[in-house]
Amino acid sequence: MAQHKVNYASNGGLPVALTSVDKLLNWGRSNSLWPLTYGLACCAIEMMASGGSRFDFDRLGTIFRASPRQSDLMILAGTLSKKHAEFARRLYDQMPEPKWVISMGSCANTGGMFNTYATVQGVDRIVPVDIYLPGCAPRPETLQYAVMMLQKKIRKESANMKKNKKQDLRLV
Amino acid sequence: MQVTNKLTPFFENLNFERDDNTMVINFGPQHPSAHGQLRLVLELDGELVTKAYPDIGYLHRGIEKMAENMTYNEFLPTTDRLDYIASTSNNYAYALAVEKLIGLEVPRRAQVIRTMLLELNRIISHLFFLATHALDVGAMSVFLYAFREREFAMDLMEDYCGARLTHSAVRIGGVPLDLPKGWLENLTIYLDKLPQNIKMYEDLLTENRIWKMRLEDVGTLSPEDAMSWGCSGVMLRGSGIPYDIRKEEPYELYGELDFDIPISQSCDSLGRYKLYMEEMRQSKRILEQLIEMYPQTEQKLMAHAPQYISAPKEEIMTQNYALMQHFVLVTQGMRPPKGEVYVPTESPKGELGFYIKSEGEPYAYRLKCRAPSFYHTGLLQEILVGTYIADVVTIIGSTNIVFGEVDR
């Protein structure tokens, strides 16, 4: 027989731990980050590997979605060329709020080894980035860690996105 | 353009320029099944594709231009990023071209290790092809199974060179490291398990009704077209032309090894898929022969050419002359003789060759990469015409293109 310590009659029939709306929303948001299936270059292969059987991204609640309308996380995996930059920004704009961006790999962070006429020297010139992920190419474990860092960040944020001072390129 | 206002709502003064079923759609460059950053402009008549223009350049990074400003050894890690699914094949093709330019003789142990890495990379690449191709067609479970197997092969690569994706394991003049202890045993264990896994994929796919319906007679490519479009690798062999550079112009140890070149006469996607499966078996055969060859070789990994290649670390630390040579090679880079060279190799995707023109400087005057995927992307404007829009993704998957080497 289960021993109930809560007396429903005396506690007004509310044996529920109450929490703030912020925490509840952030709990939901952080545990169901749906990244956009958006591969640019080599890092995309490691991104696929983290979605594959060994690293099993689904454990973190991340399920790759092929449409920006359904996703709230953009993993910019690989070299962003100047020709492609326009589309990256457009995809970012198509994602509904709240949305986050992980810049995966050296090329996305700073241009990396490709300091040429054709590549964007860091995707933060195009979209605001939350997590920078070093490596060329980063291992799937690194990407998992980045997602966990992002989850931590989300849990600290206010659920009201307007309160979060997020770097927005339109204001710069 | 019409101007809409309250008096003339937009639906009243609409006039269509065309009243047939034609439509132009834009596929990519961020389409999840475009295998990278392929943009296709498709002209449709109903669901039939009437014209297809592949538009490339979305991953152009200027790699060939970078080669002109880097010493030969500096450029080697950049070749990893061409065909990033099988990096060793790029490292190797580049190293082989430079070696031919210089006229280097690579020690036998290095040759054995290189060929092993090449064939292991072929298995990795083919498993990746299978995973993505099956995922594009809709078989999610095959993706998970194939990636499981691929991870074990990548563990082996990681044991050898420390990197999963960008190996740089082959250097100009040989290989930097000997095989670690127990590597060959692990490879043997992996190879023993491989056939039953390949059989499992085949059980899942080959007789699968959906798989057959999606692949049979889809993406047909006649032998004449395959030749005139410059196809190579499985695309060419899938159309019944027995051409493999490992057999035609044997390089490394391929002349001594015993293996078959599978050919398919069916000229369609299903035939090409079967070839990939068969090639994995052949790679296993090659690797097993190499495992036996390895103990018979001497323990020497880099070619002896003090003018071009640094001496082993031990000599650099103990002998003055070796240290001087090493200093010059690191600060200035090697200076190959004047001349030009083109060396083709059989990468997992087809003929991968590097053309290098040297003016006797530490930097290449011009470097050109002949990447198989580039030609297979051009082929899309031929084989996509007349197919249904639903088959476009299947055909792109079947050509096994990688945009790192298309755009360079």
Assign domain B87-301+391-399 to a CATH class: mainly alpha
pLDDT at B306: 81
How close A80 comes to chain B (CA, Å)?
A: 7
Q: What would the pLDDT profile of B165-184 be if each residue is shown by its tens digit?
A: 888 889 898 888 888 988 99
Confidence of residue A170 (pLDDT cuts 50, 70, 90): very low
Selection from B326, B309, B405 nearest residue B110 by Cα: B309
Per residue in B321-344, pLDDT (tens digit) is 889 888 988 888 888 889 999 999
Task: Give CA–CA dist B368/B67, Å, rounded.
Answer: 9
3-class SS of residue A36: strand
Tell me which H or E stretch contains B115. Answer: helix B108-137
Q: Please name the residue of chain B whose CA is at the shortest distance from the CA of residue A136.
A: B166
H helix runs in B138-268, sequence order: 140-161, 183-205, 209-215, 223-228, 234-237, 245-248
For residue A40, the chain B residues in CB contact (below 8 A) are 36-37, 59
Q: Is B125 at the interface with chain A, CB within 8 A?
A: no
The ipTM is: 0.81
Torsion B303-B306-B307-B313 (CA) sign: positive
Instruction: Measure B66 CA to nearest chain A CA, in Å.
Output: 8
pLDDT above 70 for B358: yes
DSSP B48-102: EEEEEEEE--TT---HHHHHTTSBHHHHHHHHTTTSTTSHHHHHHHHHHHHHHHH
Number of A/B CB contacts below 8 angstroms equals 97
Nearest C-alpha neighbor of A105 from the set A81, A75, A82: A75
What phi and psi values does residue B90 have, to the nearest 5 degrees?
-75, -45
**With DSSP H G I counted as helix, E B as strand and the rest as coil, what are the percentages for chain A, rounded to 5?**
40, 10, 50
Domain segments of chain B as ranges: 87-301+391-399
Positive/negative CA dihedral, B158, B162, B165, B171: negative
Contact yes or no for B60 and A83 at CB 8 A = yes
**Does residue B13 register a pLDDT over 60?**
no
- Which chain A residues are Cβ-neighbours of B165 within 8 angstroms? 42, 45-46, 137
Q: Which of A38, A49, A119 sits opposite B30 (nearest CB)?
A: A38
Q: Any CB–CB contact under 8 A between B32 and chain A?
A: yes
* A52 neighbourhood in chain B, CB within 8 Å: 131, 143-144, 147-148, 150-151
- Res. A160: pLDDT tops 70: no
- Is the Cβ pair A118, B148 closer than 8 Å? no
Q: For residue range B242-285, what is the model confidence (pLDDT) as tens digits?
A: 888 988 888 888 888 888 889 988 888 899 999 999 999 999 99
Radius of gyration for chain B, computed over Cα atoms and rounded to the nearest angstrom: 24
Lowest mean pLDDT among A16-20, B53-57, B306-310, B353-357: A16-20
Phi, psi (degrees; rounded to nearest 5) at B281: -65, -40
| Tens-digit pLDDT profile for residues A137-148 | 899 999 999 999
Q: Is the dihedral of CA B123, B124, B125, B131 positive or negative?
A: positive
Q: What does the DSSP assignment read for B276-324?
A: HHHHHHHHHHHHHHHHHHGGGS-S--B---TTTSPPPHHHHHH-HHHHH
Q: Quick check: B314 pLDDT over 50?
A: yes
